[in-house]
Structure 1
Amino acid sequence: MASPLVFAPLVAVLGILFALAAAPVLRPIDRFVSRVSLAAFGGFARRRREANPGKVAALQGAHVAQTYRVYAARTFFYATVGSLAGSILGVYLVASVLVFLGSAPASLQSRFPAAVQGLFVDGVGRFGVAELFVLFLASGATLGVLVAYTAYQLRWSMPSYRAGERERRIDVSMERTVAFLYALSRSGMALPEVLRILARNRDVYGESAEEMAIAVKDVDMYGADILRALGRLGQRTPSEELSEFAENLTSVLQSGRDLPGFLKRQYDYYAEEAEAQQEQFLELLATLAEAYVTLLVAGPLFLITILVVVGLTLQDTLTFLQFTAYLLIPMATLGFVVYLDSITETATGGTVTGEEASEAATRFQSIPRRSAARTDGGQTAGRATGTELNRQRLDVYETLRPILYRLRNPLSVVRESPTVLLYATTPLAALYLVVRWWPLASAGVTDLTTYDDPLVHAALFVLGTFTVVYELHRRRVKAVETGVPDFLDRFASTNEAGMPVVQSLGRVVGSDLGALTTELERTWADVQWGARVEHAFGRFRDRTDTPAISRVVTLTTNAMQASGDLGPVLRIAANEAKATRRLERDRRSELLTYLVVIYISFFVFLAIIVALDVIFIPNIPVVDATASPDQLPGGGGSGAFARTAQLTQATKDAYSLVFFHTGLVQAVCSGLVAGQMGQGSVKAGAKHATVMLALAYGTFVLLG
């Protein structure tokens, strides 16, 4: 029996790896790793900085909260630890293999080549000391070098990947950001203040606003002038478009030229770029749709057909069919959906704070958040005053109000956030499965056909309920956003005619703007009850909870602080909203074709699978599994189709079950892809997945 000390290096390596894995979560360990890395590799990393400008740029573009010296030193440290850990683990791995070979059973030994079978007999004793040393050294060095190289490349690829993702999101959000800068600068607001407002609304204007916030921090926290901050922004950003924009903006500010005119030209340029990029995106989607139909619909269909023919005539292919249905199709579809999501993600800026947070920020702004001055010489320091008790009650109320709102208005919460429904339907579906499966499992039933029906019912329940709520939410958002351009046009026209903001709003509320009219009437009632227009608009934004309204309210409320002449600003916002609607309408009409293609391909897939299950398999003759070869049709010959004559009913049932499950899996996968491709969201795919799953299940139930 081996001594426990033999495993001491292994335990030490595992402990070190666990500590390094916990470093991002535990700050003391993280600081210790940084100190050790800097002490060991800090000087070398500093000297390598000039030779790696691309890595420095990747760190800056990814907004990594570490300098190049610290990040590089930690990378070298991780690579070193990885090499040592890999070497030690390699030694233990080879030793485990040798011990296993020496104690393997005879039934396993016969399955290996003759060269390996000698190791079963002699085990470790077959090698001398020098041979074992060379074997352990080679295995440890190989695995150690491999782990060190992997750790080094992975550490440096992560910033590059994140910088590339940020570059894409910055480019997508440039049009809206420049429109915001143009609108507020047109209202007379100074550029530094415009950038500050943009930085405060990063959740609305996306990654380009996040990048601008760094320039604002340079000005406000480090005392840099706006020209130097914009220059550093152009050098640091991963986006070439933003870098060029910052450089041109710096030139305009230095020369004293017309800033709103420059921003207007830039906005027109980015609007044209958005249209060109959408055309390229639609062409890419056309290619991806054809690739999906070819690789993930027709490809598995041909593969399944060939495997069935081979399995019924030559040798058993049921295992590979199960691998195709349960693993290959879902994993390939998952990768395809993730890729689609990565290229269709847009900086919509739809993240808003919700009704509760908005009211908390506006309703009690007049109450100062500081303790009342004491006039009793501090004698009441040990007990709370009436004002302090009221403030404590107010804090408790503000903490509980979001929870109480959700408990009192569950339907409103579900309507505003459809994903909340999954927290209720998923446990109910799980409970249904437990109720249906528990008697079967208690009785020892192992037939999968008795378990899959409840699973399909639960999936249809979860997907169907989510589909209903999500479609209601989506249609409400679409109906509200449809009236935004008309609202902005009329609001701008009345303001340009000389009406104040409040009167302009009252005049617009009386017009017909579809689903937007109801929300505007509530906003107008809010103003009539004494609320400021900015606060009423803030609550209007949180009630509608749409990206378009969020941008409009952010732009309008900030423009009010600069000037009462909102006409030009509202006109710019109206043009942007119209351009966005036009692009979305064009994209929706183009993607409808690909949606139809996916549905047709699924129907073809389902038809062939059903034909194999209902027509092909039942017409193959079966025999008794206990019959002797002489009793089989044809005397159990040895020809190419001899196995067909030996097909049993159990084998046919197994193939039918795989066909049934393949149709269900393909229905869900095709539905999710249809939603991601047609509307840019997997959530939208729940509708298509529900329809396809119901059709597939109903077809098999009716015909099978």
Structure 2
Amino acid sequence: MSLANYVPLVVAVLVLLPVALAPVSNRADRVVTRFAMSLFGGYVSDVGRRRAKRRQLLRAAHLPTTFRIYAAKTLLYAALIALAGSVLATYVIWGGLELLAIDPETIRTTLPDQLSILATFGGVTVVSLEKLFALLLVAGGTLGTAGGIFTYWLRWYYPRHIADQRADRIDVSMPQTVAFIYALSRSGMAFPKVMRTLSENRSVYGASADEVSVAVRNMDMFGMDMISAIKTMSRRTPSEGFKEFSENLTSVLQSGRNLSEFLHQQYDQYQDEAEAQQEQLLNLLATMAEAYVTVLVAGPLFLITILVIIGITVTDTLPMLQLIAYFALPIINIAFILYLSTVMESMTGTNMSDDNTEGPSELTGIRRTETVRQDGGGPENRHPNVQRLSAHRRFQWIRTRIGQPVQTILDRPITLLWVTVPIAVAVTLWRLPEATTGGQLTAAGVDDLFIQAGLFVVGTFAIAYEIHDRRIEAIEASIPDFLDRLASVNEAGMTVVESLDRVRGSELGALNQELDRVWADIQWGSDVDTALRRFEARMRTRTVSRIVTLVTQAMNASGDLATVLRISAAQAKADRRLKRERRQEMLTYVVVVYVSFGVFLVIVAALNNVLIPSLPEGSVVPNATSEAAGSIGAIDTVSNLGTINEEAYTLVFFHTTLIQGVLSGLVAGQMSGGDVRAGAKHAAILLALSYAGFIIIL
């Protein structure tokens, strides 16, 4: 076959290459944009009802592009995909004709007897030019047109999908955002300053703060007044709830009504909506839990039982069992975990970034004892003390983590994997000769090594994460009481520093140690703002971040923090109550997962130890006569059955139980704790039960 035959395919790949590189390369994106604008820029326009709606979707999705550029690139992508689809259809027809030209006798000798019917389609060696041209035209036009239409639809569906996701995130973050606005407005801060403060804390308050940042940008960069900026913000938001809140806020600001009273009403309303939304999400999680137990626990068990029976009576089903164990179960479970993560993300979000934000990283404001030379201002020309301090700050995180390994692991359990995984790999390789028999590796020996290594890694991580999680839970449980006491002391006339000193002496459980560290930072010269920020960096939870952000911003506005602290305490109590209700609701389904896995383990053990060993040694079933074979649908494989490979079936059962145990444990922890890492303890327990169970029954 000549290389010239592949020229169209190469050309199609080269044409699509800039399109594939555009999302990851700015240069390729510029080339595609210029080419699209030169071809379709004069055609597209934002005039028209549908195009205005699409322009609104692009703004709601916060995509960094204009309507004309996005529409022109959409048309270019659709045209290129249509062209590539036509070329691909040509090669598909070409390959199909090559297969049809194979001699029927060659097909019969190559394929199994069950597929010998395909030989009737072979031997087509000649196709007329007219038929070939019509076939290529129809196939190319069909596949190319379908690809172009699908690409065009997908490009315009994407901003709608992003906007819908943003709307969900905005609705979820509204109670905390309104509480933040209400508290700062009560502290005496001007409302434009409240909006700017909220936009500066988008990492804490999420998508609703992103929407407010649009209004702040319009005020700061384009000189728009506050009312017009809020109106623009309400028009472009994808959330109906946020739109209603913005429109009502505009009316209040224009009419001169009491802003604090309006925000208090909105705060109570969104708290009620948060409870109703959690009820809906709990019902959804309950449905998903029942579906998981039915489809991914009971379903595979039923399917495995049926396949074993078919393997006993009709034909070998071991490849199908292996396909289910090694591919179907992991893929479906991982897909379920990813989908469950998207659902739980709207409800939880307790884990913050692991970035350590203790102290400033820049060496600004440091007094220099010697001026730099005039021949340059690079780092090598700075004073030696400044260079030493800079080097100390660069490597401080290494000293902190290595110098206090236990504290590092308890603060960030994920760092434990950097130690346990290399240890597990090294020990497994060192013990690998133990898994050999007669100079060859055995499946049982290799399984033992990998399972023990997995138990070590998952088990140690589960212990560290459980200690970390319980500590965070204990601290967050004490925060509402701490805020109430701090508010009471502040109402008595004490300053913030005096209030912290007085409150830290009371009994606040696990929070006392952290308050002592906050007070130590203050005694060593840090201001209250920096000390609280370091406390936030140590906790890395959204609850603590919201409270610290609110308190520090309120301190900058006024020394009277009692009202703000009580609002924060009420919000923290509400969050704790919703979280506690979710865990109690999901505990039932965690028990169901354990019970279902126990049933799974018992039935697999019965199949392995009772059913299969009781089969005859010579054959699975007695040799059947031709009449008997004809009575069951002309299946003549019954008379040719050999012995069942019991070791292979046992190995598949063993691996299926291990995989099901680990994945079921991860799902159980994710449903109860809102984080897949919380499932490490369940995965370790179920993995140990599976391993111990097969050691006993084998």
In structure 2, what is the equivalent of residue 473 of structure 1?
468
Q: 1:351 to 1:693 in 2, by over 3 A?
A: closer
In structure 2, runs of 5+ residues without a counterpart are none
Deviation at 1:470, TM superposition (A): 0.9
In structure 2, what is the equivalent of residue 307 of structure 1?
307
- Write the deviation string for residues 246-272 of structure 1: whole angstroms up to 9, x where unpaired: 111111111111111111111110111
In structure 1, what is the equivalent of residue 357 of structure 2?
357
Q: Distance in 2 between matches of 1:299 and 1:203?
A: 41
Select the residue among 513, 521, 529 that pairs with 1:526.
521
Which one-letter code corresponds to 1:327 in the other structure?
F
In structure 2, what is the equivalent of residue 629 of structure 1?
none
Identity of aligned residues (%): 46
Give the TM-score, by structure 2 length: 0.91
Pairing 1:266-285 to 2, within 5 Å after superposition:
266-285=266-285
Q: Distance in 1 between matches of 2:215 and 2:437?
A: 66
Which one-letter code corresponds to 2:495 in the other structure?
P
Deviation at 1:280, TM superposition (A): 1.6
Q: 1:48 to 1:473 in 2, by over 3 A?
A: same
Deviation at 1:421, TM superposition (A): 2.3
Quick check: 1:684 aligned with 2:686? no
In structure 2, what is the equivalent of residue 552 of structure 1?
547
Deviates more, 1:5-14 or 1:400-409: 400-409
Pairing 1:616-655 to 2, within 5 Å after superposition:
616-623=611-618, 637=625, 639=628, 650-655=644-649
Pairing 1:31-430 to 2, within 5 Å after superposition:
31-46=30-45, 50-102=49-101, 106-109=105-108, 117=119, 120-123=122-125, 126-346=126-346, 356-360=356-360, 366-367=365-366, 380-381=375-376, 390-430=385-425
Asked if the contact 2:411–2:468 (Cα under 8 Å) also holds between the matched residues in 1, the reply is yes
Which one-letter code corresponds to 1:56 in the other structure?
R
Q: Distance in 1 between matches of 2:564 and 2:621?
A: 86
Asked if the contact 1:492–1:571 (Cα under 8 Å) also holds between the matched residues in 2, the reply is yes
Select the residue among 573, 583, 590 that pairs with 1:588.
583
Deviation at 1:394, TM superposition (A): 4.2
Q: Distance in 2 between matches of 1:128 and 1:312?
A: 51
- Write the deviation string for residues 622-673 of structure 1: whole angstroms up to 9, x where unpaired: 12x7xxxxxx985665657998998755522222222222211211121111
In structure 2, what is the equivalent of residue 628 of structure 1?
none
Asked if the contact 1:360–1:398 (Cα under 8 Å) also holds between the matched residues in 2, the reply is no
Q: Distance in 2 between matches of 1:644 and 1:98?
A: 37
Asked if the contact 2:107–2:119 (Cα under 8 Å) also holds between the matched residues in 1, the reply is no
Asked if the contact 2:103–2:123 (Cα under 8 Å) also holds between the matched residues in 1, the reply is no
Asked if the contact 2:84–2:144 (Cα under 8 Å) also holds between the matched residues in 1, the reply is yes
Q: 1:27 to 1:602 in 2, by over 3 A?
A: same
Pairing 1:487-526 to 2, within 5 Å after superposition:
487-526=482-521
Q: 1:525 to 1:254 in 2, by over 3 A?
A: same
Q: 1:47 to 1:648 in 2, by over 3 A?
A: same
Quick check: 1:19 aligned with 2:14? no
Select the residue among 668, 674, 687 that pairs with 1:674.
668
Which one-letter code corresponds to 1:481 in the other structure?
E
Asked if the contact 1:203–1:350 (Cα under 8 Å) also holds between the matched residues in 2, the reply is no
Deviation at 1:435, TM superposition (A): 4.5
- Write the deviation string for residues 441-475 of structure 1: whole angstroms up to 9, x where unpaired: 99884764443332222222221121111111111
- Write the deviation string for residues 128-176 of structure 1: whole angstroms up to 9, x where unpaired: 2222212222222222122212322222222222211111111111101
Q: Distance in 2 between matches of 1:261 and 1:634?
A: 86
Corresponding residue pairs, total: 689
Q: 1:657 to 1:44 in 2, by over 3 A?
A: same
Deviation at 1:569, TM superposition (A): 0.5
**SS in structure 1 opposite 2:614?**
coil
Quick check: 1:659 aligned with 2:633? no
Asked if the contact 1:353–1:542 (Cα under 8 Å) also holds between the matched residues in 2, the reply is no
Deviates more, 1:5-14 or 1:29-38: 5-14
Asked if the contact 2:107–2:118 (Cα under 8 Å) also holds between the matched residues in 1, the reply is no
**SS in structure 1 opposite 2:520?**
helix
**SS in structure 1 opposite 2:44?**
helix
- Write the deviation string for residues 286-314 of structure 1: whole angstroms up to 9, x where unpaired: 22222222211222222221221122012
Deviation at 1:330, TM superposition (A): 2.0
**SS in structure 1 opposite 2:45?**
helix
**SS in structure 2 opposite 1:600?**
helix
In structure 2, what is the equivalent of residue 30 of structure 1?
29
Deviates more, 1:12-21 or 1:576-585: 12-21
Deviation at 1:420, TM superposition (A): 2.3
Q: Distance in 2 between matches of 1:327 and 1:268?
A: 49
In structure 2, what is the equivalent of residue 699 of structure 1?
693
Deviates more, 1:225-234 or 1:321-330: 321-330
Q: 1:310 to 1:118 in 2, by over 3 A?
A: closer
Asked if the contact 1:595–1:678 (Cα under 8 Å) also holds between the matched residues in 2, the reply is yes
